[in-house]
Structures are given as structure tokens and as C-alpha cells.
Structure 1
Amino acid sequence: MTWPADDGSVFRELTVDLHAHLGVPALEPLIADAPGLARQRATEVTSLGPASAAYNRKHFGALAGPLTDLDLRLAAMDRAGVDVQAVSATPVSYAWAQAPLAERITAVSNEAVADHCALRPDRLVGIGTVALQHPELAVRQLRSAVTELGLRGVQISTAAAPGVELDNPRLADFWAAAEEAGAAVFIHPFGCTLGDRLNAYYMFNTVGNPVETALALTRIAFSGLLERHPHLRIWAAHGGGYLPSYLGRADHAWTVREDARTTVEPPSAQLSRVFVDSLVYTPYGLRHLVEALGPDQVTLGTDYPFDMGVEDPVERLLAAGLDAETVTAVRGGNALRLLGPLPRTTPTPTPTGGVS
């Protein structure tokens, strides 16, 4: 199978990783003295618990190289059989930042992503960010990211700010602008808001992240956002969280309760237009994800370079026993539908043990 490239030529089937991150060290001096930063970090330590907080300090320190070094990134991509990678900044919450600082944080972050990807435009495409806690600013930042920096979309958290969910009317102009610009919107938790109930065993991440994503997608579905904006491109990290595994309950509520029948179509139909990544770890989980959302909505994702990610996305895809057409779609075809034309590059070999 062939796909169109930016220059109008075609390339053979590619493998595309849509979930990978970049560290932006230039942000540290910018926010070092901000009072909101100290409060944010104190909240995260309480939510993580002492053991996980200590572990993360050591682990994240070891990731400084992989998060910023181009050669390490490309080597990891080659080992994984990944041809093109969508790169977004490390998901950190700056929802506490007032507008002037938030504008600077976003500018520095987006420029860093664009500059990193420009080093290998045949292998990397950039995903920006916006200060969603300031909706009018976020609209300008989204347009700038796409039209001025050439980024393919933006990464947001599962809420705009405390008390401002993604279905809040204040964000209407942001969603409209994303649809108009053809910008993909990547929903990725910037931490967990469930507090100290998850302060042991790294439940902050293992339970918290999937819950955050399921909550965000549920609000999007029941709010009718996708009916109002049928061309909106949304994709979610970590397989969409817990929601794809229990869509039947949301559909049941939509069927039997008037307060939940807020849309023309049930939640499962709404979410059949949302993309998710394949980061569900097991062959069974991936088969179920494809069955729940459809083979056209699942993309590869590694969460590079974090320890909750995977280094062998192609092998895991092949192990799921999906039909050849679905494998082709998940491996790269769906990424093209989500992000648009991808760089022209020579596909890397399939990892040892896999089949092409």
C-alpha cells in the first residue's frame, strides 16, 4: 500500500508512533520563581505519595538524555521499527500560570518542539500545546502552532483548569478553531486530580491516568461536541483510558435516562470518531480496543521514553492477531487520516521476530 507525501509523491507503508515526548529544559528558568509552581509540585507529591515521588525524581532524572537527544530518539525509533514519530512536549500542568507567563511558556515549548522536529523533518512531526486555562489565548496559540510553526496539532490535558472541564462553554471557540484549522487535538493527562486516594503503588498513573482520560472523553461524548463539530480531530492517549472497556454502560444510561440522552447518537457512536493510541500493553487489550472503537480509530503509540511506555509497538501489534488490513491501518494509515500527509521517508525494517 502507498500513501501520499507532502511533495505529491508516494511512499510505501510507514510505521507511525503518535505518542512520544520531548523535554524542554528552557522552561525551567522561566518558571523557577513562579509561586504557582511550588503549589503544583506540592500537590503532585501528595497525590503520588512519598515512594512514587522519590522514584519519579530518580527516573525522570535518568530521562534527561532520551527526552532531548535527537540521536537517542532516532536510535530508539529504529530499534522499534518506527519510521515517523509525532513529538509533543512532556505533559506537565501549567494551569496555574497567569496569561503573560502562560503565553511565554507555550511559546518556548512550541518553538522547542518545532526546532527539534526540524532537525529530521523526514522522521519527526511536531505537536504543540496551548494554555487552555486562558481560552482566548489558547485559540491564538493553536493557530500560531499550525500556521507559523507547522505543527500538526496541539496536546491538551483532560481538563482546562480546576473546575473547567473540556465540555465547558468557555472552550467553544477553541474547539471551533481546532476544527477550522484541521488541527488534531491530543488529549493526554497532565497528572491526576483524584488526590491522595491514589498515593501508593503508583496508582497516580496506573489508575489515575486512565480515569482522567475516560472522564474527559465521556464529557465530550455526552456534551454533543462531536456532533457540533463533525470534522474535529481528537485523539487520546493510553487507549482512551478505561472508557472503551465499558462503553456499554454509557450507552445504557443514554438509552434509559432522559438526563443522559443529550445527543442524537449514543456515546459509542460519538466516540467511534475519536482516535486512540495502542498503548494497552496486551494482545487481548489491543484486540478489544479495535473491536470497541473500530479498526480505523486506533494508532500506534509508545509514550517514548517513559517507563510506562513500550519499546516494541510493532511486535505488540502483530501479536494481537488482527487481520492484515487492520494492521496496516493501525501501523500508519490511521495516523495519516488524523494528521494529514506525512514526511516522505524510507521505511525501517520490521523488528526482528515480526512479519511485514
Structure 2
Amino acid sequence: MDATEQTQRIAAGDALVRMALTDMIKRGITPGATYALLDGDAVYTQTLGQAATVPEPLPLKPGMFYDLASLTKVVGTTPLFLRAVQDGLLGIDQPIQEVLPEFSAPHVTFRMALTHTSGLAGYIPHRDELPADQLRHALLTQLHETDGTGKVVQYRDVNLLLVGWALAKVYGDPIQRLITARVLPAFGMRTNATFTPDPAQTVPTTYGPEHGLRRGIVHDPKSAILGADSGAAGLFANIDGLVQYAHVTFGRVQQIFLHENWAENLQQSYAGGRSLGFDLREGPVTHRQWLYHTGYTGTFILLDPKGHRGLIVLANRVHPVVHPEFLAARDALIPQYLAATERA
């Protein structure tokens, strides 16, 4: 790979990403951000702003851990599902009810859950106040199929919760313990990704006078209740951890946990324009499908395993409160970055 071309692509991407994130910080929709641009064997990382602004300013250090939120789904749960398929324990088009007999939607398959085309609907009263066992039981038994089942994409956390519970059933351990014991070591992420971070090394999320500064505790309410039984959120990582994960998807890290081209095989639609676990974004020049996923807290990754390029952003748009305007700024950046890096 030509080093000059690598440098040009990274520079083009950095100009856009730095400008966008600096603007977000100035507008107060995230106190800071850490990001990485990847191109072949080249990696450029940068840290901007602060870790927190209230109750007092907190410096943002390069190795700090972020609450990845829904990136947990693709960093941990999806690779473990692919391993279960490889082991012959689960099938992509297998009905989830075959593994979890209490599940109330008999036609929903793992493909539907992983592409968010399950169409599951239903109301669970006081959902965020239920204890873990009651919440799990309610999500398994009180949701139902709709006309959109198998047809319409509707992103819902419960889809990957179901996948996590099925993995726990076939492997005999809660999903977060499985990810910790099997996925993170296999990917070389044992020291830079964890479900139990040191709060002092973690970027805080929300702040309020009643509960104080939330730090080192998962932000997502359902995952906070479910603990080790949540495959939808709960993982924390620093930028080095996600760079390592990106290199695993590129095939630049030797591992025997999954087949060599597992991530390249995800660069296609499995249903509704989504891959397994990931959303997809088409490159304007290569027309390849980049793997894309976001986290509620302000994290997102955009990876091209076939081209060995990627963007990782760890931001904190929920500090001290949720900033909805972050979403529009993020969504505007993605196509700009794709155009810049593929045309450079």
C-alpha cells in the first residue's frame, strides 16, 4: 500500500473529522472526543476537549475508557454469534424460539434479530423499574410479531438481548462473561476493553444533583438492570481497544476465533439493507459497503475491512445531559468522511 496515498487519505479525513468534532465541542454537545483514522497499517489518533465539564472540569487523557453503549453489539455479541454458527450451535435462519422456548415470537429468526427486522412490538409497564429476572421474562414473553416482521428495519435493543440470551444458553454462561472470556482475549483486547472499568480511568456520562456523576457504570437503563446478561450494551473500551478491533476486522491481527474473512463477509446486506449486527454505508467511489454502528453515548465506528480503512469516534454526548443535536452532526460527518477518504 502506497505510503503517500495513505497519508493523503488520513489527512483528508482528519481535516473533516477534527473540524466537525471541534465544532461539537464548541457548541457544548460533547465535552470532548477521542478519534482514530485507519488506513492499512497507518493509524492516526487524536484527543480533543475534556472528559467532563461538571461538577468540575476533568481532563481527557488519551487512554481513558468510554461507555461504548450499543457498540457492544458488534464488538462482542455479533462475533460470538458468528462463532456459535461456526461451531454448529446456532443457525442464522434458525428461529430463536428453538433455543429459548419461552420466547413469544415463533417466526423470528437470528437473522431478523441481527438485522433488526424482527418487527417485535409490545409495551412493558415500568420496564426500567423491574428487577433483572422480571425484565428478562417480560422481554421474552410480552413482545409479539407484527406485519413488519422479516420485512421492515426497526432498530431495537431487545434484538441483541435475545441473541445474547441464546448464546448464554448454548455456551452455559452469561453473555458478558462469554465475551470477556472468549472474544476479548481472542482479539487481543483483554487490557483495553472491559465490562468492569476502573471509574478513575473512565470518561463520565450523565450528571445530576440527585445521583451525582455517573462514571464506570453503564448508561443504558436495561443493561444496567440486566448486568452480565446484557449483550446489547455494557462494554467499555479506550481508543486502542477499538483500533485493535478494527485491525481484527481488517485481518491484520492473527486470530483463530473466527474465519479469516469473517468481517469482509459482513460487507453485504443480509436483510433490509443491514448486515448481521452492523448497519451499512456505501462508499461513493469504491461502492463497497462499509460496516457502520453507533452507540447512544456518542460513539461510532465506520470500517471497510476489504479496503483496510476506518474511522472510530469516541464522544460523550450524554454529558452532563443528553444532547440530541449530536446525532445530526454525526450523520452529516459520515458521508463527508466517506467522500474525502475514498477520493483522496
Which bracket does the TM-score occupy, shorter chain normalised? under 0.3
TM-score by length of 1: 0.23
TM-score by length of 2: 0.24
Between Structure 1 and Structure 2, the one with more helix by share is 1
